[in-house]
Structure 1
């Protein structure tokens, strides 16, 4: 039986689902959520009908639900949706719908939403260009398109995707900011604003969140330690912070308008 990329995504994120509610493990998602919401704020309207594509546990949808008319969170992994639904029910959110579906083949008619957002998905899916095209297709004219993702710095030494795939076999390819911009433009939207930043994060909880096997985690740790000692670049930009091994990710927030 052939294992597809989508199969890998469902397998890996089913393992990770419970960890997304743990801020100790899910520091990148939770720590920068407020920053993304602030980036989105100029585009939010009480009458918005929002779609979060590849939503995971719907962190973004849950964060903005009380400020819009309705939000829909779509994801491929049932366990992630179930975790998000539990959290939404606990918070008393009644205008948030959870839908199982494929981000590259959205089950909605054209021009259905006034704001469409995706977070940490382009580097994960097999077809990022299809995902962006679908986001544009289901957006009404003038709708805001928000993309937040891990990006590969231009000219970075080493191959960070190789390490990312060791940790999580469902990882695809981290694109550059220019590549993401080109995808959005090619799909028919106009980029209005971009925000780029880096985050140096501890290695241990990152590996714990993905439940990376011990032998693979040891290999990743060794490669980062070797780089610090003058060995080959991994692309992960390792460092020691208070004696603990860290690495650096680069992120992009992008706002576009659909024509």
Structure 2
């Protein structure tokens, strides 16, 4: 199946759980993201792959207008219900692909994308599109899970994410993001690394993972090396995985 169809299928059936998911809803990263933005209140903003609409919702009262775009129609409906339910009337909702945005060049003062690029099959096209739709000196705020620089840790994290969620494509390294953005004509102004504790059972149930798949994932993690268990600070009790720690970055880049 085409990865974009997989994304639509996966997010379509889990739309409501994304709106209420604590990692998406309550993340301190969202507060940091807003803090990092340089805002006057007159900005026209684009939120790419809006998902449950949390980023668009957080910025709506701080900017002039937000356009929230997502590949999945059901996610857009869930996001619209959530955002309008919070009283924001300056957000419009558009179905569209992050790698082929339905907007004109130099259309936005600020572009955001949170917890989504690890689903994009061609992240370079996405970055090219961000650069295209941003006005000169416009801000791009990226927030996504990343993998450690070491190959073995990279492979492990991407493997467990793919086993949990077939629409996962790749979490990138910090160094890869910096390289790709600078290559595209965006200058990195600020970035922060932060850690995330994933509680294993809710992490699996968020994707409605079937028991046989969850058992397979558990076995894969239990059989991983001690070095991997230490790196991801696995908490395991009686062969039951309680939690592990991943990492993410928030990054601000400016279009030259």
Tell me, yes or no, whether TM beats 0.5: yes
* Larger CA deviation: 5-14 vs 157-166: 157-166
Provide the rounded CA distance (Å) in 2 between the counterparts of 1:97 and 1:110. 18
| Change in CA separation of 1:257 and 1:136 when aligned onto 2, cut-off 3 Å | same
Provide the rounded CA distance (Å) in 2 between the counterparts of 1:149 and 1:57. 15
For residue 30 of structure 2, the aligned residue among 30, 36, 40 is: 36
Determine helix, strand or coil for the equivalent of 2:195: strand
User: Which residue pairs with 1:187 in the alignment?
Assistant: 184
Determine helix, strand or coil for the equivalent of 1:174: coil
2:204 is aligned with 1:207: yes
For residue 163 of structure 1, the aligned residue among 149, 157, 160 is: 160
| Change in CA separation of 1:83 and 1:235 when aligned onto 2, cut-off 3 Å | farther
2:117 is aligned with 1:122: yes
Determine helix, strand or coil for the equivalent of 2:119: coil
Provide the rounded CA distance (Å) in 2 between the counterparts of 1:185 and 1:36. 23
For residue 215 of structure 2, the aligned residue among 215, 218, 229 is: 218
Cα deviation per residue 1:43-65 (whole Å; 9 max; x = unaligned)?
A: 12200100001111221001110
Q: Residues 229-240 of structure 1: matches in 2 within 5 Å?
A: 230=226, 237-240=233-236
Query: Does structure 1 retain, via aligned residues, the 8 Å contact 2:19–2:53?
Result: no
Tell me the number of residue pairs that the alignment of Structure 1 and Structure 2 aligns: 252
2:40 is aligned with 1:45: yes
Q: CA RMSD in A?
A: 2.2
Length-normalised TM-score, structure 2 = 0.91
For residue 138 of structure 2, the aligned residue among 129, 140, 143 is: 143
| Change in CA separation of 1:232 and 1:244 when aligned onto 2, cut-off 3 Å | closer
5+ residue gaps, structure 1, are none
| Change in CA separation of 1:159 and 1:220 when aligned onto 2, cut-off 3 Å | same
5+ residue gaps, structure 2, are none
Provide the rounded CA distance (Å) in 2 between the counterparts of 1:170 and 1:71. 26
Provide the rounded CA distance (Å) in 2 between the counterparts of 1:104 and 1:116. 14
